[in-house]
């Protein structure tokens, strides 16, 4: 993929993810070459990212990570990249961390002159708008639409999730897009741009509007935005085999590396989402 090796992409993308999580979280600290972040019980920002890519991990760093989360009543959770130093996995195993899930990181190069569009054209009857972070009503509409796939249908958006999205949208490195049927927000997705790499995040489409190519259109729009920011590579994180992965593959994304999500459950610790 372009002139970057899979490890090059992993180093860029893991750093970007760690930085993005720090910006969305209430509190963060550097640890083992990455960052650990938290925002209270129930927040997706309760995780550590980017660890172990700069070399061996000191055992004291892992003890500090455990204390950081345990002191907040939250089970420690981190994403471990396939290119992380083996000392990280050994240290986590010795401290009782267990596997929760796998994650695939897909990527594609961004040529400066490449044109991005949905394979079967733009969805009929649907318009798209870039979210204005200064428009409170539009921000709330985006939060509701872009998180609909991550909660039961009809359930309210948890405030912990909404607050983290608001913090992200306030950052100049973030762009978000709404899919609109008339004036009704029916889907949304965001882009986080780091140093040379961008990631497509938080995409959802309402059940009533799925199967109309809206997700592909949101991918194409964000690829254009990443290209405009001068990024060389765009990434998507996905659980293996879900529709996001298939849509990404149709638009030129390919698997670059895997990650594992590890947690350390304990008495009195709230599970991390």
Q: Break the chain into its structural domains and give their ranges.
A: 6-103+258-263, 111-231
How does pLDDT run across 177-201, given as a tens digit for each residue? 999 999 999 999 999 999 999 999 9
Please answer whether residues 219 and 235 qualify as being in contact, where contact means their C-beta atoms are separated by less than 8 angstroms. Answer: no
User: Model confidence at 154, in pLDDT bands (50, 70, 90)?
Assistant: confident
Region of 241 on the Ramachandran plot (φ > 0 left; ψ -120 to 50 alpha; else beta) = left
Least confident of 61-70, 145-154, 178-187: 145-154
Predicted pLDDT at 123: 97
Provide the 3-class DSSP secondary structure of residue 124: coil
Task: Answer whether residue 2 shows pLDDT above 80.
Answer: no
Region of 46 on the Ramachandran plot (φ > 0 left; ψ -120 to 50 alpha; else beta) = beta
Provide the 3-class DSSP secondary structure of residue 114: coil
Predicted pLDDT at 18: 97
Predicted pLDDT at 207: 94
Which uninterrupted H or E stretch holds 51? none
How far apart, in whole angstroms, are the C-alpha atoms of residue 216 and residue 111? 19
Please answer whether residues 164 and 43 qualify as being in contact, where contact means their C-beta atoms are separated by less than 8 angstroms. Answer: yes
pTM listed for this prediction:
0.92
Predicted pLDDT at 40: 87
How does pLDDT run across 202-243, given as a tens digit for each residue? 899 999 999 999 999 999 999 999 999 999 999 999 988 888
How far apart, in whole angstroms, are the C-alpha atoms of residue 178 and residue 134? 15
Please answer whether residues 143 and 166 qualify as being in contact, where contact means their C-beta atoms are separated by less than 8 angstroms. Answer: yes
Predicted pLDDT at 143: 97
How far apart, in whole angstroms, are the C-alpha atoms of residue 242 and residue 257? 16
Predicted pLDDT at 42: 86
End-to-end CA distance of the chain: 32
How does pLDDT run across 71-118, given as a tens digit for each residue? 999 999 999 999 999 999 999 999 999 999 999 999 999 999 999 999
What kind of fold does domain 111-231 have according to CATH? Aminopeptidase (3.40.630)
Predicted pLDDT at 242: 84
User: Model confidence at 246, in pLDDT bands (50, 70, 90)?
Assistant: confident
Question: How much is the average pLDDT of 19-27?
Answer: 96
Helix pair angle (159-169, 6-24), 10° resolution: 110
Please answer whether residues 45 and 21 qualify as being in contact, where contact means their C-beta atoms are separated by less than 8 angstroms. Answer: yes
Residue 23 to residues 149, 164, 168, 250, Cα–Cα distance (Å): 23, 9, 6, 31
Provide the 3-class DSSP secondary structure of residue 131: coil
Predicted pLDDT at 15: 97
């Amino acid at each position: 993929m372009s002139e970057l090796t899979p490890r090059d992409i992993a180093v860029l993308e893991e750093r970007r993810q760690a930085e993005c999580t720090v910006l969305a979280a209430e509190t963060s600290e550097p640890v083992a070459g990455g960052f650990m972040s938290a925002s209270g019980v129930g927040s997706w920002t309760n995780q550590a990212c980017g660890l172990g890519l700069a070399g061996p991990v000191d055992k004291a760093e892992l003890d500090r990570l455990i204390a950081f989360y345990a002191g907040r009543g939250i089970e420690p959770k981190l994403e471990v990249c396939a290119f992380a130093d083996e000392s990280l996995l050994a240290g986590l195993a010795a401290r009782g961390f267990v596997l929760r899930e796998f994650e695939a990181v897909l990527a594609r190069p961004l040529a400066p002159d490449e044109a991005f569009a949905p394979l079967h054209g733009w969805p009929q009857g649907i318009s798209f708008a870039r979210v204005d972070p200064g428009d409170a009503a539009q921000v709330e509409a985006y939060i509701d639409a872009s998180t609909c796939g991550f909660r039961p249908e009809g359930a309210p958006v948890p405030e912990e999730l909404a607050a983290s999205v608001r913090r992200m949208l306030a950052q100049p490195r973030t762009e978000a897009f709404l899919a609109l049927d008339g004036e009704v927000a029916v889907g949304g997705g965001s882009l986080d741009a780091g140093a040379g790499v961008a990631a497509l995040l938080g995409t959802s489409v309402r059940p009533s509007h799925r199967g109309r190519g809206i997700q592909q259109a949101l991918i194409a729009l964000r690829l254009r935005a990443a290209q405009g920011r001068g990024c060389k590579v765009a990434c998507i994180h996905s659980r293996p085999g879900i529709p996001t992965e298939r849509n990404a593959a149709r638009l030129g994304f390919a698997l670059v590396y895997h990650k594992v999500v590890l947690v350390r459950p304990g008495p009195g610790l709230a599970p991390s989402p």
